[in-house]
Amino acid sequence: MSHVWRPLWVVIVLVAGVLTFRHFYVPKDFGIQEQGYMYGFHRLSNEQDWINFPISYKFSKDDSYCQQCHPGHVKSLLASPHAIIPCEDCHGPALNHPDNPPKLQIDKRRALCLRCHANLPYPGAGRNVMPGIDPLTHNPGQECVECHNPHNVMEGLQ
Amino acid sequence: MERRDFIKSAIVVVAGAAVPMSALELMNPKDVLAANPNLKWAFLVDTTKCVGCGMCVKACKTENDIPWTANVSRTWVERYVVTKEGKVWADCPKQARDGFTSPLLDENAAGKISVDPNDIAKGFFVPKLCNQCDNPPCAQVCPVGATYKTPDGPILVDRTWCIGCGYCIQSCPYGARFFHPIYHVADKCTWCYHRLHHGMKTACVGACPFGARQIGNLRDPNDPVTLAVLDGRIGVLKSYFGTKPQAFYIGLSKEVD
């Protein structure tokens, strides 16, 4: 019967090898979790991995985080129609500001303002109701902030 | 009492008590709670409020470390322009990371299309993101258990376990998944799982000046999103796939799918 046993031993050793490898390679918390086999088969600790992902934006309510150090700017912003825009939309993510980074990079480019204020003639769309300009004819090449104060837009031209 | 009677009565009592006891076992409060966790996230998009500024896409890419120049994004905004003859145009240049600043429609190989403003019957913007389906086909097809549904809703990808086969990218009816150009694994919107678990809103919700995006907990009966989902006139994308999407839309038009 050695002709049967010889290949069988090879198979047994291979299977044992795979099972041993699997035992050490697959994480202990890997398996069928709460959501069942179809949707919940995963490594449980990965949920915590994602929760630990670093946060960049504060997006605090009524800009309360920014207000602690920049009350003047926030006050003038909140008094204008731009009050609905969170500070970090233009100033970038606060991260751990003021510790890191100590200074935020402000996006003062014309392209930023045009995201809302380039007029698009769509009946029924909110975009059409907002004050809009044609970027090709309205002072092309100039930055908007050269004339308009982005914090207090009602202040008039500078 | 005879010994025989005692044994008979004992058997009757034990058998009779076993029936209600088994019912109690079925009603184990732990099982009930596990089936109804306290958190179940849902997303609400009000397309009538969107102006196509793309601040959500910008914030999402920055928050979640998605390469700025790569043509991939976890969320995107689509523009639809319908002419009076009924012709539908749609575009989404660079996933709208720079917003919509030109009336020209970016039709890729066909070039930039100009539509006469007098011919436009309606034009609108539709923000899109992962629907975190209750029946997620992407999690079902994963051959290695790298993508899965969390108890509170969002579907996540284990970057250490994904082999990058791309089955999930193919299986998503909404095109919400993509191949991450740096990590070389499947990537998708997590509804900012890290932010939700620290009591914050998602980056796109926080960045939207117009309140077009909202996220809420369906287990909280007073949550504005829950109220809108229960009572509002809402729709979901591609309901015919049976994926039970958990992103709900206000103001969907028949051109959108």
Domain boundaries, chain B: 41-71+189-250
A55 chain-B contacts, CB cut-off 8 A = 63, 194-195, 198, 200
Question: Do residues A28 and A83 share a domain?
Answer: no
The pLDDT score that the predictor gives to residue B112 is 94
Strand ordering across the sheet containing B41-46: B213-217, B41-46, B247-250, B234-235
User: Tens digits of per-residue pLDDT, A110-127?
Assistant: 999 999 999 999 987 889
Q: Is A21 left (phi over 0), alpha (psi -120 to 50) or beta?
A: alpha
The pLDDT score that the predictor gives to residue B38 is 85
B198 and A88: CB-CB below 8 Å? no
For residue A35, is it within any domain?
yes
| B139-163 residues labelled b (16+ CB within 10 A) or e (exposed) | bbebeebbbbbbebbbbbbbbebbe
CA angle A30, A32, A36 (to 5 degrees): 155
Boundary residue ending a domain (A51, A71, A89):
A51
Boundary residue ending a domain (A51, A73, A92):
A51
The pLDDT score that the predictor gives to residue B16 is 85
Burial classification of residue B44, based on how many CB atoms lie within 10 Å of its CB (0-12 exposed, 13-18 middle, 19 or more buried): buried
The pLDDT score that the predictor gives to residue A89 is 95
The pLDDT score that the predictor gives to residue B34 is 57
Give the best residue of B49, B77, B89, B101 to mutate against chain A (max A CB count within 10 A).
Answer: B101
Q: Which of B125, B148, B206 is opposite residue A39, by nearest beta carbon?
A: B148
A59 chain-B contacts, CB cut-off 8 A = 200-201, 203, 206-207
For residue A123, is it within any domain?
yes
Question: Do residues A44 and A74 share a domain?
Answer: no
Are B110 and B225 contacting, i.e. CB atoms less than 8 angstroms apart?
no
The pLDDT score that the predictor gives to residue B30 is 61
Q: Give the residues of chain B that fall short of pLDDT 70.
A: 22-37
B101 and A121: CB-CB below 8 Å? no
The pLDDT score that the predictor gives to residue B101 is 95
B136 chain-A contacts, CB cut-off 8 A = 39
Q: Note the Cα A98 to chain centre separation in Å.
A: 20
State the nearest Cα–Cα gap between A37 and chain B, in angstroms. Answer: 9
For residue A56, is it within any domain?
no
The pLDDT score that the predictor gives to residue A114 is 96
Contacts of A116 (CB under 8 A, 6+ apart): A127, A130, A132, B51, B53, B99, B209
CB atoms inside a 10 Å sphere around CB A126: 18
- Cis peptide leading into B20, omega within 30 of 0? no
State the nearest Cα–Cα gap between A27 and chain B, in angstroms. Answer: 10
The pLDDT score that the predictor gives to residue A61 is 81
**Positive or negative: CA dihedral A86, A91, A92, A98:** negative
For residue A97, is it within any domain?
yes
Are A128 and A121 contacting, i.e. CB atoms less than 8 angstroms apart?
yes
Band the pLDDT of A35: cuts 50, 70, 90.
confident
A52 and B194: CB-CB below 8 Å? yes
Domain that holds residue A15: 2-51
B62 and A56: CB-CB below 8 Å? yes
Question: Do residues A46 and A65 share a domain?
Answer: no
Residues above pLDDT 90, as percent of chain A: 75
Question: Do residues A73 and A93 share a domain?
Answer: yes
Q: Which fold has domain B41-71+189-250?
A: Alpha-Beta Plaits (3.30.70)
Q: Which of B58, B124, B150 is opposite residue A125, by nearest beta carbon?
A: B124
| B94-112 residues labelled b (16+ CB within 10 A) or e (exposed) | bbbbbbbbebebbeeeeee
Band the pLDDT of A74: cuts 50, 70, 90.
very high
User: How long a stretch of residues is chain A?
Assistant: 158
The pLDDT score that the predictor gives to residue B37 is 66
Amino acid, single-letter form, for residue B209? P
State the nearest Cα–Cα gap between A2 and chain B, in angstroms. Answer: 38
B149 and A121: CB-CB below 8 Å? no
The pLDDT score that the predictor gives to residue B223 is 94
Question: Do residues A141 and A70 share a domain?
Answer: yes
Question: Do residues A70 and A145 share a domain?
Answer: yes
A120 and B139: CB-CB below 8 Å? no
- Cα separation of A141 and B3, whole Å? 106
